[in-house]
Amino acid sequence: MISSIKINPKRVLLKISGEALLGDVHYGIDPKVANTIIQDVANVVKAGIEVCLVIGGGNIFRGMTASARGIDRVHGDYAGMLATVINAVVLHNVFEDHSIKSCIMSAIEIPQIAENYVRDRAIGYIKQGRVIIFAGGIGNPYFTTDTAAALRAIEMKCDLMLKGTQVDGVYDSDPKKNPNAKRYDEITYSEALINGLSIMDATAFSLAQDNHLPMIVFNMHKEGNFEKVLLGNGVCTKVIASDSYQK
């Protein structure tokens, strides 16, 4: 096991893609999936771990895809940011249904729906036991929600960043297309970049590596898996900065 991956961490950031909320629907949010994810997060919070979230918007709108179809990239990215706010509103409501205190903090100003993101205030909320849902990316076009996740995890002084996906870790090829794909138990950010593994974008990688932020990639769709990987019992891939890698 990699010694720099802290098991039973005090504070973590969970990155959830918009696509992870689709479930069996082709657009929007599958209520069953949303409830399962929030229940898993609620179990972790009740276990005494502080949690914050960054949510994507690809289930509603993706700026890069829109740009490829002829829509101005800046406008497309702003539309994508608004999509993350929609997802955040829904997740906030589900948290309330599970009796978990949460709040939305947005990088773009929408005072009727979310608080403006202020770092010190966000840390205060986390210490109070609230789950912070970060929406709106970083508030600027050309940056993905992966980058927003790495940035917020560093700002919040999280012990770990976790990326919930549809597979149980990082593979050398697409396991859905290649039954012989190899899953990595441990890998460094540098190795992932050299091998062209699509975990996060290069900017997010650089932020995480430069700030020695470890990451765990796991299957978010397996019920209870979020808590399992935090306790060291779940199947996942651990990703860390190169200079702290120990074989």
- Amino acid found at 12: V
Distances (CA, A) of 125 to 20, 132, 133: 26, 7, 11
User: Looking at the 3D structure of the chain, how many domains does it have?
Assistant: 1
- The pLDDT assigned to 223 comes to 87
- The pLDDT assigned to 66 comes to 58
Residue 5 counted as domain residue = no
- The pLDDT assigned to 64 comes to 59
Q: What is the pLDDT of residues 71-101, one digit of tens each?
A: 888 998 999 999 999 999 999 999 999 999 9
Mean pLDDT of 190-217: 88
Residue 118 counted as domain residue = yes
- Judged by average pLDDT, the poorest of 58-72, 138-152, 185-199, 201-215 is 58-72
Residue 49 counted as domain residue = yes
Residue 145 counted as domain residue = yes
Residue 159: give its domain's CATH number.
3.40.1160.10
- Judged by average pLDDT, the poorest of 57-61, 137-141, 239-243 is 239-243
pLDDT, greater one: 242 or 6: 242
Residue 1 counted as domain residue = no
Residue pair 215/239 in contact (Cβ under 8 Å)? The answer is yes
Residue 231 counted as domain residue = yes
- The pLDDT assigned to 67 comes to 60
Residue pair 139/74 in contact (Cβ under 8 Å)? The answer is no
Helix H or strand E encompassing 15:
strand 11-16
Q: Please give the model's pTM, rounded to 2 decimal places.
A: 0.90
- The pLDDT assigned to 243 comes to 59
Residue 17 counted as domain residue = yes
Q: What is the pLDDT of residues 226-238, one digit of tens each?
A: 999 998 888 899 9
Residue 171 counted as domain residue = yes
Domain that holds residue 171: 11-244
Q: Is 38's pLDDT higher than 80?
A: yes
